[in-house]
A and B are shown apart, each in its own frame.
Chain A
């Protein structure tokens, strides 16, 4: 239902953003197809790669979101010293570069990791992380933080009045689940599942490294091979199209199962005290287990790398500066993209779906496609940094929209009639009604965008030239030159920078109490 007409410039801006995204996704794929010669077909190995890709992504999504429910609930209703810091730190695995996270994970769960040392000490057999379970474990490590944050936002949108009423009515855990938490989760969980599924769909380094061999071949690896060793662009495009098709199917399923926000207005009152006793103990356990699982590997990364940070070569610091510039540019672009599409999606479904579409494209295809598009016009090396910022913004957009759109729709459902009845102008409606309710998710979204951009290696590789290295590239370079000590130092720098940027942007945009 529409309670006010949208200004034309807003629709124009949204259409422009949509056009950029379409060019980025379809244009890149189209450019690859255009450069391809001849036709291609899927081999039996490709079919098994497709099967493995879908199964691991589905299992990773289910496990991540299922585990996130008790953790998010515990974090949503408990208040304790250091809670804000814990929420931020627990989000770190998601923004870490894959290679750093895997090393941290192995320091805890690898052959000589803490867990195996403990098992040996207890006289138990060693645990091997390599295999299907290792892939899932790593994907849960990456995506549990994101799932927790997405669900936390769901909990944050439950009006305090509902909780007060339920406690006044003497609701037990079951009744509260049935009437308040269950309906909220039914709205939030499908989106979270889809996002994690889409992220895991394009995974390949983690899957291959921890999967133990070619059994764990994903479509992204097959695309990589088609591009680089076979130089078979037709095959690469076909595989990329199959991968995008799977992602699209997941998005369509999401659209089908997304429930509309009902009008259940709250007046932003404080929630009542949560239940104590057993519930309190279980909440503490959920938080402690999740914190141990997510923070121990991070601690290992820091312990290994911290001594090397001071002695890092100057080129690493220059790369750091370059990464910060790219991240800054990327956040600005993300803010524009997200604002336009959020505004446009108050009354439509399409903009959100379009924003999510960035997740279904293979980063490799986007990078190559943009290279093909740019090459006849301009030396691609000149575009390395702006293109990175643009692609980073597009890649972060789905997460931003996941955070912003439900909150905006909720606010619109709650207050649009009132605001229209009061005769507020569009500007005043945004400033007084929507912005206070969007500020926190916006802070989260842009903070995430900054952190993801800092950690991204992705598309820049084909474009690179001396003098355009970013920090993640420089870290890989150190690692590729036997310098694992310096590389560990660069990893700590990257971790600190990503977390710092996330917190700074989130606080700046979201306000001081922006922790959920």
Chain B
């Protein structure tokens, strides 16, 4: 922990005195993640105790809302950041962190079970899923099999705003990656089907569960929650023939860390069996490495799309502004 001046150092020392005295011997690893990761029912608490059992360190999770807020916080802190590891960015956001020089190479070569190739030197995936429209099988008899099907249907969908939500941004990339120059026309076709656009995933999923809309943009793994936690088999994801865009959640070592080895150890732990076995039923995503015990039945039985789509991080960033303009023009009419 380095502070620019004596005065600030003194202030910080006073504020930090108690925990420092308590943990004078054990190094501290600060991991910045999104809010639902550290919830009691999220992966955070179990990962913390499992990692602390092996590392001889004190793992501290900090949360800043969602992935985008996390990135904003990291950028705000800049070089003064005390954060050692950032966990939970998705590939549509990593380019900004890379460009700002915030992330150091991890030097790891994990054996991943992703449907796409992965060789990013800065970020290690820890879980992933496909974006998909989730519906209620008791209300929608024949789900659409493509965007064209959806446009021709009379179904109502709720989506998230790509300007404030990562799933919303994922859908934007999905349409852009599949349809390229035609993306604007697809959005115009979708416009009458879109009941409303919410700021975040929670609001959209809430509206869907309340029966406001027939479908909601979520993940192919969302039904697993309802099957495993609630014994409810009525939720399903509509599989599209064009393929599905992926969300890959990654971790990276913050360049300014004073614990580079511990940070790399933590990222390696995140792809180890101990952590990966926890992911599916706490984060409701596929683990990046299939655990030795395999997936729970609710996950294993989920239908999987045949085509997986993922734009490279720099391409996703370059496409974002033009795609956003198309989206806004099509939906704001």
Contact = CB atoms under 8 A, between A and B. Distances in A.
Interface of A: 35, 45, 48, 99, 102-103, 106-107, 110-112, 130, 204-205, 208-215, 217, 221-222, 224-225, 227-229, 231, 313, 315, 368, 371-372, 375-379, 381-382, 461-462, 464-466, 473, 476-484, 487
A484 B284 CA distance: 15
Interface of A is mostly: helix
Given A209-B196, A224-B164, A480-B202, A464 B62 contact: yes
Nearest to A204: B199
A376 B8 contact: yes
Contact of A378 (B11, B36, B76): B11
Nearest to A224: B164
Interface in B34-62: 35-36, 38-42, 44, 60-62
A33 B97 CA distance: 21
Contacts of B191: 213
Interface stretch (B63-71, B114-122, B301-309): B63-71
Given A130-B195, A213-B332, A483-B41, A229 B209 contact: no
Interface of B: 3-4, 8, 11-12, 15-16, 35-36, 38-42, 44, 60-65, 68-69, 71-73, 75-77, 80, 82, 96, 156, 161, 163-164, 169, 191, 194-203, 205-207, 209-213, 222, 225-226, 229, 284, 320, 327-328, 331-333
A353 B265 CA distance: 55
Contacts of A315: 39-40
Given A214-B328, A379-B82, A225 B164 contact: yes
A207 to B, nearest CB: 10
A368 B206 CA distance: 28
Contacts, number: 171
A466 B39 CA distance: 8
B197 A465 contact: no
B35 A480 contact: yes
A403 to B, nearest CB: 31
A212 B163 CA distance: 15
Given A209-B198, A482-B225, A466 B331 contact: no
Contact of A482 (B211, B222, B320): B222
Contacts of B169: 229
Nearest to B283: A481
Contacts of B226: 482
A482 B197 contact: no
A224 B163 contact: yes
Contact of A107 (B8, B80, B161, B210): B210
Nearest to B11: A377
A465 B62 contact: yes
A378 B12 contact: yes
Contacts of A99: 202-203, 206
B314 to A, nearest CB: 16
B164 A229 contact: yes
27 contacts: A48-B332, A110-B211, A205-B199, A205-B203, A208-B196, A208-B199, A210-B196, A213-B191, A214-B331, A221-B161, A225-B163, A229-B163, A229-B164, A313-B41, A368-B72, A376-B8, A378-B12, A379-B15, A379-B82, A462-B64, A464-B64, A465-B60, A476-B202, A479-B205, A482-B205, A483-B41, A484-B206
